[in-house]
């Protein structure tokens, strides 16, 4: 009987397994890195889309709680048309964000391995979140109409730090996206979520009207850099 008919020897099988292991050790980290990069790129693009949607919402004047003719910024529930705008039964139509942003849970939206959270200002420019399931129809959260005409901010951070993403991102009414690698505080899903003020300058008071930490230290001690 020939060697081919006898099948593989143990040594040959061990060599094949070793080769497969070597290939896997090279390929798997590259695949994980590619997924992280894709998720982070998607998060940046999403924040830019949110910024555009906020601009449309404010310019349209569809949210005008104090009735002064100047539009206000909105929460995810409002921007997606999922809920009525504050102090009204009216909804934004057509919506300025995808209906997917109406899927709010615990005041956050989950997309491509990241959690997104919107903050609007109260009377002292402290950031407050929307209702747990989206929007704020009765304005029970205490959004200040005057402050909401000029201020808003949104964060995106990994659902699983190091697995679905590494960096945390921020955008506000200025339109620039900031990022931190979390050297001091690494934000991680619901275990270590953001607060509204972490990307604002450490040298300023914790309020939405102060400068952001562009290429400087934030309130959280992390360095926040402008994403090019």
Which pLDDT tens digit goes with each residue over 106-148? 999 999 999 999 999 999 999 999 999 999 999 999 999 999 9
Instruction: Give one DSSP letter per residue of the chain, joined into a string.
Output: --HHHH---HHHHHHHHHHHHHHHHHHHHHHHHHHHHHHHHHHHHHHHHHHHHHHHHHHHT---TT-SS------HHHHTTSSPPTTSS---SS-SS-GGGG--BTTBEEETTEEEEEEEE-TTS-EE---TTS--TT-TT---HHHHTT--EEEEEESSBTTTBS-EEEEETT---EEE--SS---BTTTB---TTTTBBTTS-SSTTSPB-TTEEBTTS-EEEE--
Average pLDDT over residues 24-37: 71
User: Which of 17 and 224 is assigned the larger pLDDT?
Assistant: 224
Angle subtended at Cα 216 by Cα 156 and Cα 207, rounded to the nearest 5 degrees: 65
Mean per-residue pLDDT over the chain, rounded = 92
Q: Which pLDDT belongs to residue 23? A: 64
Q: Which residue has the tokens 């890195």?
A: 33
Q: Which residue has the tokens 């060599």?
A: 15
Predicted TM-score (pTM) of the model is 0.87
CB atoms within 10 A of CB 3: 8
145-202, pLDDT tens digit by residue?
Answer: 999 999 999 999 999 999 999 999 999 999 999 999 999 999 999 999 999 999 999 9
CA atoms of 7 and 157, how far apart (whole Å): 53
Residue 34 phi/psi, 5° resolution?
A: -65, -40
For residue 7, name the pLDDT band (cuts at 50, 70, 90): low
Instruction: Check pLDDT > 80 for residue 25.
Output: no
């Amino acid at each position: 009987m020939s060697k081919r008919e006898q099948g593989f020897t143990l040594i040959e099988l061990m060599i094949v397994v070793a080769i497969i292991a070597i290939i896997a050790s090279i390929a798997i980290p590259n695949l994980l890195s590619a997924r992280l990069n894709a998720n982070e790129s998607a998060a940046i693009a999403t924040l830019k889309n949110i910024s555009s949607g906020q601009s449309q919402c404010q310019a349209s004047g569809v949210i005008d709680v104090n009735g002064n003719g100047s539009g206000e910024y909105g929460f995810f529930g409002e921007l997606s048309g999922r809920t009525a705008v504050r102090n009204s039964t009216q909804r934004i139509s057509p919506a300025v964000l995808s209906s997917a942003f109406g899927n709010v849970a615990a005041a956050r939206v989950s997309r491509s391995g990241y959690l997104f959270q919107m903050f609007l200002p109260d009377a002292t420019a402290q950031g407050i979140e929307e209702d747990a399931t989206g929007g704020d129809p009765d304005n029970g959260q205490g959004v200040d109409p005057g402050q909401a005409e000029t201020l808003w901010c949104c964060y995106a951070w990994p659902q699983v730090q190091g697995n679905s993403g590494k960096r945390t991102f921020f955008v506000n009414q200025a339109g620039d996206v900031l990022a931190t690698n979390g050297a001091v505080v690494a934000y991680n899903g619901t275990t270590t979520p953001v607060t509204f003020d972490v990307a604002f300058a450490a040298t300023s008071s914790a309020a939405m009207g102060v400068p952001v930490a562009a290429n400087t230290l934030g309130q959280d001690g992390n360095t926040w850099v402008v994403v090019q």
